Structure formats: C-alpha cells, structure tokens
Amino acid sequence: DIQMTQSPSSLSASVGDRVTITCQASQDISNYLNWYQQKPGKAPKLLIYDAFNLETGVPSRFSGSGSGTDFTFTISSLQPEDIATYYCQHYDNLPPMYTFGQGTKLEIK
Amino acid sequence: EVQLVQSGAEVKKPGESLKISCKASGYSFSSYWIAWVRQMPGQGLEWMGLIYPADSDTKYSPSFEGQVTISVDKSLRTAYLQWSSLKASDTAMYFCARPRLNDLLTGCPFWGQGTLVTVSS
C-alpha cells in the first residue's frame, strides 16, 4: 500500500507570509496528488488536483507542484481566511484505496 | 448543480444499529462512484469505502471491511452507510463525497455536509 507522509503537522505563520506544506509518497504516484482545505466543522474542499491544477474558483495564491514521490503545496501570501487544516490525498487502484496525509494545521501567528 | 445532502446527526447507544444517508442531485447518479470518509473528533480524514451505484460494486478500506456496510438505492438517488452494532469508537463525523471523474484519481470536489454520529451509553 502507498503511504503519504505530510509535513509539518502544524504551522504558525503571519498574514502575508509564504507558506509551504510537503507531502511524500512511499512510491512513485506520477502527478496523482490532490490537496484539500478543511475548516472546523466543515467538509473538506478540493483546492488542487493532479498535483498542480487549481480547482475552479480557488484563489490563485494557492498552488501545487511536484511529481513522482515529492509534492509541495504553497500559499503565496497567507490570508486570515486561510486558517484551516490542509490534507494531501492520493487514490491507488491496486488495491483500491484513497489515502490521506496526516494533515497540516495552519494557524496565524 | 451537484449536491450531496446527508441525513442529520444521530445519538445512539452501544450495540444499536444505524443507517445514515447521502442523497445526490444534479448529475447522473448511477454514473459516478460515491465515497464515505470518517473523521473522528480532532483527527484526520480516513477513507472508508466506495460504491458505484450502477452495479453496486463496492470497495472497502481494509480498516473498515466487515465493520460497516455501504449500499445504494438508485431509485432514491441515495447512498447509505450502516452499522449493525455500534461502538463508542464509531463516534465521528461521516462525510460522503463524489469524485470529479470515474478514474477516481482527480480528487473529490463534491462533498456532503457531514453526519455527526455520537455513540454513548
């Protein structure tokens, strides 16, 4: 089974800062890596799919990169409304399994 | 507009049975997988399983196989998650979600609002 290792588990940053979260797969997953934002009490929201494609309506300060085993999620200029927990996620066919990273809780400094 | 509307919060006792639902609208229900995801209090997201409404093909996470049953009623455009005997450790928020495409690789842009299940004696 493919394991997804996300870091850091928590992060404190100031408004306007550039924020980076990483996700590492235990084996090559090409670019099949998605990123979600979850605010307390709400359903996750898909921000990035296929490593770097921005979901419709998502602000351009969010971006993703990477392929193979190493992926990065970036917020170019942190806004107060970005306070949330972020998850990476991959789907594997063999065996069928959605795997989420452990999550990164982002707080304002 | 794609919408997934889940049933309301439940409070149950250990050993009781429960079936929660996820009603879909705005798309061809039979043509897309539906996933169930668990989130225990203060914890991360855990994939439970998938069902394909057209033929009820179901795939379970090994962690949940035998612990829950996923089903659909195509006539009602509704997916279900059920337990035959709840445990306190089943206390969690449960989400249904629909992937963008049926290859399941490009993530789930559509989510229900979540159903909070509390199991307590």
Q: A3-19 burial string, b = 16+ CB within 10 Å, else e?
A: ebebeeeebebeeeeeb
Chain A touched by B22 (CB under 8 Å): no
Cβ atoms B25, B3 nearer than 8 A:
yes
B residues 57-116 closer than 8 Å to A (CB): 59, 61-62, 95, 97, 99-100, 104-109, 111-114
Mean pLDDT per 10-residue interval, chain A, length 109 residues:
94 97 96 96 96 96 98 98 97 85 96
Q: Report which residue type is found at A83.
A: I
DSSP for B33-68 reads: -EEEEEE-TT---EEEEEEETTTTEEEE-TTTBTTB
In chain B, which residues have their Cβ closer than 8 Å to the Cβ of A55?
Answer: 109
Share of chain B above pLDDT 90, in %: 94
Nearest CA in chain A to B112: A43
Taking only the tens place, the pLDDT of each residue in B10-69 is: 999 999 999 999 999 999 999 999 999 999 999 999 999 999 999 999 999 999 999 999
Q: Tell me, what's the pLDDT at B106?
A: 85
- Output the CA–CA distances (angstroms, integers) from residue A97 to A87, A93, A100, B35, B86, in the order listed: 16, 7, 10, 11, 24
Q: Tell me, what's the pLDDT at A35?
A: 98
Nearest to B107 among A85, A89, A103 (CB): A89
CA-based nearest residue to A85, from B45, B99, B111: B45
